[in-house]
Structures are given as structure tokens and as C-alpha cells.
Amino acid sequence: MRSPLINSAIVAATFSASLIINNAYAGLIFSEDFSGLSTALENSLIVDWQDSTGGGFEVYPTGGAGARGMSGMFDHDNNPSTAEIVLPGGLEVNDTSGDVLLTATFSLGSTINANQLGSLSFFGGVRGGNATGATIEIFNLTEGISLTGVLVPTLGSFNWIYNEFNFSSTAASIGDQIQFRWEGGGTNSANGQEVALVSFSIIDDPAAAASVSEPFTLYIFALGIIDLALRRFKK
């Protein structure tokens, strides 16, 4: 028969372990590298791409990057220690006029748990040296609320710059219609915001991960108590 000390230690260890290993799904939900023509966006079955002009999308491959003042290479993984790659494609928000609104709408098909975040990432650039008024916002259409507020992205005048914006699980539920909103800024179709490699992921919240250290310490401590109790019990 086990002693009460051993039983208590096992319960404590089991409780702590459950906090550590009960992880929900985290990973890439969708990604768009703009390597296809504008029809690829128009026919997407995952994301509904729209803009305020209704005149299609100005998607361009690496060959069109230079004409728009942007490099044809970019740091695809936001890691300076790895080599840059050829830009598969980019999208100019201002297709036929200035300050165009580009939206990407999709249904949230995965639950975002309390220890996770929804994460939008993309690479930003500016054409024509003018993207005044360019913004990005993540909006929950189902609930009618902004998940981030209107934010100003970081845009490179030649090299693409990585942007990442997150929202918490309390602001969105599975099945909600989520919309990304890019305001092109600028004054005409020859300037404004440009985007490349748009991705949406569910990621682990770094703050929540840090809080796991306390139960993990308890778990290790409980294992030590079990070992000590077993040694004494054998005696």
C-alpha cells in the first residue's frame, strides 16, 4: 500500500504534467505568395480577396519588382543568417487609384486557445517614395469589432520589411469571419503600400509559454518527492 505522501506527490505530478502537454493546434493556416496572376486571387477558395476599386488586382512577379522600386529578392523567413530568395510575387495595393482599400476575408476554421494568438505576417514595401496614410487592421466581421485597431505597417523603400500583428483568443471564435484590411495610402496608382508573402498562423503565446515554467518546476519537484518517498518506503 502506498503512503499518503506518495499518493499526494503522484497527484501533484500528474496535475503539473497536464498543464505542460495539453497543447492545442498551432501552425500555418494559409499563405499567399502572389506567384499567380490576379485571377488566382479572384478564384481563391480559402480567402476572399477584394479591393475598393473593383478593378482587379495588380499582382506582379519578381520581374516587376524593380519597376515598382522594390528589390526582386527578399528575406522570406525574417532570418538574416539565411540567404534571401527570389521574390515569387508581390501585390500593389493601389491598383488604379490612390489610397485603395485591399481586404482578405476568411472563416476561422481552428479554435484559438487561451495560450495562443492569431498571427498575421507579411512583407511590406512602398512604391514611389510615398505611402502616407498606409495602414493595416485585423477585423472580426462576425462580432463587428477590430481585433488590433488601425496600425501603421513598417514599409521598406527598396528592401522588403517583415511585419507581424497578433490578436488574442478572447477576440475571435471558430467560424468567425476574419478580415485583413490594408489601406494603400499615397496619392495615386504609382505610389503607396505593397505587400508580399501574406501568411496567417496560430502561434503559441510567448507570455503564456513563460508562465508554464512555474508548473514545470512543480512537476520536477513532485518527481523528486516521489523518488524520495519510494526510497524511504523500500527501507
126: closest CA among 37, 196, 51?
Answer: 196
Query: Could you tell me the three cell numbers for 47?
Result: 480567402
Give the C-alpha distances (Å, rounded to integers) separating 177 from 4, 104, 150, 167.
52, 10, 18, 14
pLDDT value at residue 56: 87
What is the per-residue pLDDT across 41-70, written as a single tens digit (0 to 9) for each?
999 999 999 999 998 899 999 999 999 999
Which of 1, 7, 20 has its CA nearest to residue 226?
7
- Residues 213-221, mean pLDDT to the nearest whole number: 50
Give me the percent of the chain exceeding a pLDDT of 70.
78
Alpha-carbon distance 57 to 124, whole Å? 17
| Domains assigned to the chain | 25-205 (2.60.120.260)
Q: Of the ranges 4-13, 118-127, 146-155, 173-182, which one carries the lowest mean pLDDT score?
A: 4-13
Residue-by-residue DSSP string for the chain: ---HHHHHHHHHHHHHHHHHH-----EEEEEE---S-HHHHHT-SS-EEEETT-S--EEE-GGGTGGGT--SEE-TTS-TTSPPEE---EEES-SSSSS-EEEEEEE--S---TTEEEEEEEEEEEETT--TT-EEEEEETTTTEESS-SBPPP-BSSS-EEEEEEEEGGG--TT-EEEEEEE--SSSTTSEEEEEEEEEEEEE-HHHHHHTHHHHHHHHHHHHHHHHHHHHHH-
pLDDT band at 73 (very low <50, low <70, confident <90, very high): very high
Integer Cα distance of 152 and 136 in angstroms: 6
What is the value of pTM for the model shown? 0.80
pLDDT digits (tens, 9 = 90+) for 220-234: 555 555 555 556 656
- The predicted-structure confidence for 2-11, as pLDDT tens digits, reads as follows 554 444 444 3
More confident residue, 18 or 195: 195
C-alpha closest to that of 147 among 187, 113, 179: 179
